[in-house]
């Protein structure tokens, strides 16, 4: 039976080739959008490593343009700001930080570890960041006051980076590079937020008031739940009182999170809407083409009916033929996209997401193809033998 159907498909190869091509392109479109969606979903489901609610960021503008210098005066002013903030009642904890959760700017570093190049994001943070962001320290400890006097640089890394650099060994107490020594490990820290892929992270300790440590450009503040926006103004006024001429901009992390989500989801939504319309177009087109093709084969179908084929068997013939075409198109598409993991073209797509995208695309295309075949095949099955044999 299948062999016979394949023959029928082959006999109309020119028309069918175009249908296969159309299915092939549709498959690619669904695969790309589906994989992108699954990738974001996969990122979203992984633990974030910090808590963002009731945390505000105060961006500090020291009003200096350009280069990398800073003055002793600015260092002292920053210390005063940090002390001042902690005296305010609604503030539970505050810490300075170079890198900011959910922001698009990042500080990256990459070092050679016994021939392996390992990249990671870095941030310089002051001592209380663990309380502000509620970091989860899984091994060793977070920075403490005594660390500020050490002759070497204490660092805290995330578990992913610890695994990559030290493998199964216990990283606590080991030298990271140069004079950096690991004092603790946090289970996770995904600065770029839920939708970005997880990465490696390293915290340096920023010593407040130290003449060689640049004042942090961001002040992260955990406020008590229920603190109103009116406190923002109070906070800014207080800070401006301490640091004359500096400017401050407050933004809750919640708001930055929303912006970050929008940045990641807008392209997906746009691509999704466009591809939905494309699929609708393909669906309608397939219905039209199948209908027309079957109209042309009225005599063939009539003959089958006249020789005793049931409606159902005509029905299943049409649908099987369509599924054969779909399979060919999907196979071609799958062969093409299989080059991605084979040649390792796009690093961030792991096998699970790739297979998920493949299955999603296959399922959608088969479903679409089946839906499109139903109506034309029902029409074909309704053909009366007598009428069909007269058909010219």
The contact set with other proteins (CB under 8 A) reads 15, 18-19, 21-22, 25-26, 29, 62-66, 229-230, 232-233, 236, 240, 245, 247-250, 262, 266, 274, 277-278, 280-282, 284-285, 287-289, 292-293, 296, 392
Q: Is the Cβ of residue 109 or residue 292 nearer to other proteins in the bound state?
A: 292
Q: Is the Cβ of residue 66 or residue 167 nearer to other proteins in the bound state?
A: 66
**Residue 29 Cβ, how far from other proteins at the closest point, in Å?**
7
Q: Say if CB 157 and CB 139 are below 8 A apart.
A: no
Judging by beta carbons within 10 Å of its beta carbon (0-12, 13-18, 19+), is residue 386 exposed, middle or buried? exposed
**Residue 287 Cβ, how far from other proteins at the closest point, in Å?**
7
Phi, psi of 282 (to 5 degrees): -60, -45
Q: Say if CB 220 and CB 57 are below 8 A apart.
A: yes
Q: How far apart are the first and last CA of the chain?
A: 28
| Cα–Cα distance measured from residue 35 to residue 358, given in angstroms and rounded to the nearest whole number | 8
| Cα–Cα distance measured from residue 248 to residue 50, given in angstroms and rounded to the nearest whole number | 24
Q: Is the Cβ of residue 156 or residue 286 nearer to other proteins in the bound state?
A: 286
**Residue 247 Cβ, how far from other proteins at the closest point, in Å?**
6
**Residue 283 Cβ, how far from other proteins at the closest point, in Å?**
9
**Residue 251 Cβ, how far from other proteins at the closest point, in Å?**
9
| Cα–Cα distance measured from residue 58 to residue 242, given in angstroms and rounded to the nearest whole number | 14
**Residue 278 Cβ, how far from other proteins at the closest point, in Å?**
6
| Cα–Cα distance measured from residue 337 to residue 182, given in angstroms and rounded to the nearest whole number | 42
**Residue 45 Cβ, how far from other proteins at the closest point, in Å?**
26
Q: Is the Cβ of residue 137 or residue 289 nearer to other proteins in the bound state?
A: 289
Give the residue among 218, 212, 141 at the shortest CA–CA distance from 172: 141
| Cα–Cα distance measured from residue 349 to residue 357, given in angstroms and rounded to the nearest whole number | 10
Give the residue among 157, 150, 159, 160 at the shortest CA–CA distance from 177: 157
| Cα–Cα distance measured from residue 90 to residue 225, given in angstroms and rounded to the nearest whole number | 9
Phi, psi of 364 (to 5 degrees): -65, -40
**Residue 148 Cβ, how far from other proteins at the closest point, in Å?**
28
Phi, psi of 182 (to 5 degrees): -75, 125
Cβ neighbours around 68 below 10 Å, total: 5
């Amino acid at each position: 039976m299948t062999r016979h159907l394949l023959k029928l498909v082959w006999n109309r190869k020119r028309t069918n080739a175009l249908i296969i091509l159309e299915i092939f392109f549709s498959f690619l479109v669904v695969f790309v959008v589906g994989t992108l969606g699954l990738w974001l979903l996969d990122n979203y489901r992984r633990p974030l490593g910090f808590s963002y609610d009731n945390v505000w960021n105060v961006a500090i503008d020291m009003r200096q343009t350009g280069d990398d210098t800073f003055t002793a005066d600015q260092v002292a002013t920053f210390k005063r700001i940090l002390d001042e903030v902690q005296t305010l009642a609604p503030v539970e904890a505050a810490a300075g930080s170079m890198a900011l959760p959910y922001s698009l700017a990042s500080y990256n570093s990459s070092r050679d570890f016994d021939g392996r190049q390992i990249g990671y994001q870095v941030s310089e943070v002051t001592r209380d960041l663990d309380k502000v962001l509620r970091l989860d320290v899984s091994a060793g400890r977070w920075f403490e006051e005594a660390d500020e006097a050490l002759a070497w640089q204490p660092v805290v890394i995330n578990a992913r980076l610890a695994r990559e650099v030290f493998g199964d060994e216990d990283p606590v107490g080991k030298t990271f590079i140069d004079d950096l020594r690991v004092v603790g490990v946090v289970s996770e820290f995904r600065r770029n937020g839920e939708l970005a892929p997880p990465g490696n992270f390293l915290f340096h300790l920023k010593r407040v008031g130290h003449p060689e440590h640049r004042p942090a450009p961001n002040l992260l503040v955990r406020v008590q739940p229920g603190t109103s926006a009116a406190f923002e103004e109070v906070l800014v006024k207080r800070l401006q009182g301490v640091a004359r001429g500096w400017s401050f901009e407050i933004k809750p992390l919640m708001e930055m999170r929303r912006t970050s989500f929008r940045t990641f989801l807008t392209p997906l939504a746009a691509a999704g809407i466009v591809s939905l319309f494309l699929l609708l177009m393909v669906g309608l087109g397939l219905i039209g083409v199948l209908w027309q093709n079957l109209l042309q084969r009225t005599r063939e179908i009539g003959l089958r009916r006249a020789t005793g084929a049931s409606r159902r068997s005509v029905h299943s013939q049409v649908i099987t033929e369509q599924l054969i075409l779909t399979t060919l198109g999907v196979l071609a598409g799958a062969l093409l996209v299989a080059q991605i993991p084979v040649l390792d073209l796009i690093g961030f797509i792991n096998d699970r997401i790739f297979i998920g995208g493949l299955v999603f695309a296959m399922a959608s295309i088969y479903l679409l193809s089946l839906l499109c075949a139903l109506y034309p095949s029902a029409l074909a099955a309704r053909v009366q033998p007598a009428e069909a044999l007269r058909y010219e």
